Amino acid sequence: MAEPTIRLSVGQAIVRYLTHQYSERDGVERRFVPGIFGIFGHGNVAGLGQALLQNEVSPDPEEGRLEYWHGRNEQGIVHAATAYARTMDRLQTLAATASIGPGSLNMVTGAALATTNRIPVLLFPSDIFANRAPNPVLQQLEDSRDPDISCNDAFKPVSKFWDRVNRPEQLMVSLPGAMRVLTDPVETGAAVVCLPEDVQAEVYDWPLSFFAKKVWHMDRQVPAPSALARAVSAIKGAAKPLIVSGGGTIYSQASEQVRELATATGIPVADTQAGKGAINWDHPAAVGG
């Protein structure tokens, strides 16, 4: 018996898929991507833009709306999404989309910031026509010597996941791949799914299983007993031990435990840029960055 399907555009499928993605830690589930920033123009207004409008007017009865916020600057919306993900201890993030050419290219710096700092952010830059018939299109930016290259290839060195969806069915591999990276505390960073403007509006019969609720378990990594024993031995044997507290302290929600350890032992604590706030500045053991 054939699996039931639903006919949606690629843009509609993206919205529906994201409303069914959850993260979990300590038994608490959260919508992993509760909303999306967007600046619409040539390339995404008739694809992802239309899908977001339809979702607002008639949201998914099971999962509700994917919130949309209109941005004013492409780089700014990526920075805002990154800040949100950091505030939520990387258990949630936001997506961002921009129009073809300079609009999408403006998101590259934001992607670099997120990847450098291991902050999950999901980007949907609009891309050149997959069928290549309309060429060039308005502000389209591409390599005239190679029709497979557009300005979105600039995201490759500054992202942890990159793909260009040239056929609708590729989305069923691309989106789970992006989610796998976004929810991996080691590999996380910018996940970039480039969307050719004709493919965004292309209709496909999607298997309903693609939109089933998915929970991504973001458990804390427990150290091996032998590694923990070595750490304890090193601290006990140190004449002047120092704790360097980084972003992992915050993202694993262990700041209180670090402060308690410092209070009990008097071991000084230095924080990295990503670890700011792990210990309060006026704590007797805090020595700054």
Lowest mean pLDDT among 20-29, 59-68, 132-141, 229-238: 132-141
Measured distance CA(86)–CA(61) in Å, rounded: 30
Question: What pLDDT is recorded for position 221?
Answer: 83
**Enclosing H/E stretch for 244:** strand 243-245
SS3 category, 100: coil
Q: 136: cis peptide before it, omega within 30°?
A: yes
Question: What pLDDT is recorded for position 77?
Answer: 98
229 has a pLDDT exceeding 80: yes
For the segment 233-237, the average pLDDT, to the nearest whole number, is 90
Class for the domain spanning 5-217 = alpha beta
Q: Taking the CB of residue 161, how many other CB atoms lie within 10 A of it? A: 24
Higher pLDDT, 180 or 146: 180
Question: What pLDDT is recorded for position 2?
Answer: 82
Measured distance CA(201)–CA(219) in Å, rounded: 37
Per-residue tokens: 50: 């239309």
Residue 279 DSSP code: S
30 has a pLDDT exceeding 90: yes
Question: What pLDDT is recorded for position 220?
Answer: 86
User: Crossing angle, helix 108-116 and helix 74-87, to 10 degrees?
Assistant: 20
- Side chain identity at residue 13, one-letter code: A
Higher pLDDT, 234 or 63: 234
Domain boundaries, the chain: 5-217, 225-288
149 has a pLDDT exceeding 80: yes
The set of residues, in sequence order, having a beta carbon less than 8 Å from that of 280 and lying 6+ positions away, is: 259, 286
- Summarize pLDDT for 188-225 with one digit per residue, the tens: 999 999 999 999 999 999 999 999 999 999 988 888 99
Beta strand pairing call for 5-9 and 203-207: antiparallel
Q: Measured at the alpha carbon of residue 176, what is the angle toward residues 141 and 73, in degrees to the nearest 5?
A: 40
132 has a pLDDT exceeding 90: no
Question: What pLDDT is recorded for position 91?
Answer: 97
What are the beta bridge partners of residue 125?
98
Q: How confident is the model at residue 61 (pLDDT cuts 50, 70, 90)?
A: confident
Question: What pLDDT is recorded for position 64?
Answer: 79
Sheet order of strands, 286-288 included:
243-245, 269-271, 286-288
Residues in the chain, how many? 289
Q: Do domains 5-217 and 225-288 have the same CATH topology?
A: yes
Contact 260, 278 (CB under 8 A): no
Whole-number mean pLDDT of the chain? 93
Measured distance CA(17)–CA(13) in Å, rounded: 6
**Assigned CATH for 225-288:** 3.40.50.1220
Contact 41, 100 (CB under 8 A): yes
Q: How far is CA 243 from CA 90, 250, 272, 277, in A?
A: 23, 14, 11, 14
Q: How confident is the model at residue 1 (pLDDT cuts 50, 70, 90)?
A: confident
144 has a pLDDT exceeding 80: no
Q: Give the residue from 13, 12, 71, 10 showing the smallest Cα distance to 38.
A: 71
What are the beta bridge partners of residue 121?
190
Contact 174, 159 (CB under 8 A): no
Q: How confident is the model at residue 179 (pLDDT cuts 50, 70, 90)?
A: very high
